[in-house]
Amino acid sequence: MEIDEFVGLTRRSSVLDALREGPLDRRDLQERVGVSRPTIHRQIRALEVDGLVVKRDGAFALTPVGELAAAEFARTFEVMDNVSALSKIVRWLPVSAFDFDFARLRDAEVALPHPNDPFAPNRRMLRRIHGADRIRMVTYTFLPEGDPAARRCFIEEHQSFEGVLDPTLFESLLADPAGATHLRDLLAHGSHIAVAPAPVPLILILADETVIIGAVDSGGSPRGLLVTDDDVVRTWAEDAVDAYLDEATQVTPESIGTRAVAADGGT
């Protein structure tokens, strides 16, 4: 197919998309697409010539080839929407740590903050975490400790939790009585918590079979979230968590007690 043919077909893709739901007469098709009568006439005629649309009983319908073209255009536009969303957060993603082809993320769900809802990615993350039976996590900025739903999942419902924390995050949790208590509760219920020997550059979570990658700017504000079930990305994520666990120091109830007392000034 020549480039000008592809461009022309792209311009007529809205007609193909409108007909995916079923045959339409010319007037209904014109209203659905939102173009003038001469324009819809030209587009229908061109699609008929290409064998993508046929007229039956006064209505226009997709041919088998037209159905295939409509489906492929719909998928292309969906992928391009994802590419556009990825472009908004790629600067805050730990791309240098990705040991996989970035194209594996073409179908990833991208959650972005909104002007009236800057923490939308965080809530999306929490929903995934709360719905999982097993959590594996490497993070420098996030550990659910205060909200009742998090406690219900991690503590009361015996959700499996395995996490490697950035050392600065660990210190900040110990300095907060609620954070220290939550760490103790997690350990008491069988969670595996460790502290990385050096700063952690990413937010990586495995919620059952789903991979969650956080995008956070240098100020700690959420910029977006990637959610994917891709097998290759999942393998990378599992290996990454394992590698961090191999290097990290196990947290024990005794170490939390000692450090928490020191953080409180010995009181």
pLDDT of residue 224: 87
Q: Whole-prediction pTM value?
A: 0.71
At 209, give phi and psi (nearest 5°).
-95, 0
pLDDT of residue 228: 94
- Please write the tens of the pLDDT for every residue from 111-164: 888 788 777 777 788 788 877 889 999 998 765 544 555 555 555 566 788 999
- Please write the tens of the pLDDT for every residue from 33-57: 898 999 999 999 999 998 999 998 8
Cα–chain center distance at 157: 25
The rounded distance, in Å, linking the Cα atoms of 131 and 146 is: 17
Terminal-to-terminal C-alpha distance of the chain: 77
- Please write the tens of the pLDDT for every residue from 11-21: 888 899 899 88
Cα–chain center distance at 241: 18
Max CA distance (Å), the chain: 86
Q: List C-alpha distances in Å: 178 to 9, 107, 169, 182.
A: 60, 38, 14, 6
Question: Does position 262 have pLDDT exceeding 50, yes or no?
Answer: no
